């Protein structure tokens, strides 16, 4: 799956310093809110935090896929964040997380939401892809790796 239709250079953040779930979700929320002038950052953050309360979105191997649906969103949009230092994210494999793919989809797009999550999870399950993302040192490099097939 090519992530080009979900992320943009503006929603790509490499070498981020974060020390908590909330700070990573804030980074994701801010980068997406900057791209969506009709949606407020606080709405995105609240929805991401509420989803995380239902259970961790960490999928293992140092990866988490925070996601939520928003009522006033027209198209899916995502952000990718690479941390300088992994943080605890309640992963089933007990591995700290340093790669985040934050996904927002329209509220009524349940099937599309699940389909995108499955494809993204499959892509992030590939060790080679994760290693390339972790090796990126700039936003541009991270974006280029993320959209490569």
CA distance 135 to 149: 17
Q: Look at residues 48, 47, 6 and name the one whose alpha carbon lies nearest to residue 25.
A: 48
CA distance 69 to 89: 21
21-33 helix and 41-54 helix, angle to the nearest 10 degrees: 140
CA distance 149 to 116: 16
Q: Which residue has the tokens 């349940």?
A: 110
5 in catalytic set: no
Q: Using an 8 Å Cβ cutoff, are 30 and 49 in contact?
A: no
- Active site members: 67
């Amino acid at each position: 799956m090519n992530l080009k239709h979900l992320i943009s250079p503006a929603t790509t953040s490499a070498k981020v310093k974060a020390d908590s779930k909330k700070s990573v979700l804030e980074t994701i929320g801010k980068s997406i809110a900057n791209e969506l002038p009709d949606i407020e950052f606080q709405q995105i953050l609240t929805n991401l935090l509420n989803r995380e309360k239902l259970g961790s979105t960490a999928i293992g191997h140092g990866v988490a896929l925070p996601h939520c649906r928003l009522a006033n969103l027209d198209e899916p949009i995502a952000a990718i964040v690479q941390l300088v230092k992994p943080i605890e994210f309640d992963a089933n494999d007990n591995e700290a997380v340093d790669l985040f793919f934050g996904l927002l989809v329209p509220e009524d797009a349940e099937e599309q939401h699940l389909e995108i999550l499955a494809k993204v999870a499959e892509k992030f399950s590939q060790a080679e892809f994760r290693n390339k993302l972790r090796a990126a040192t700039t936003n541009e490099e991270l974006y280029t790796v993320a959209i490569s097939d």
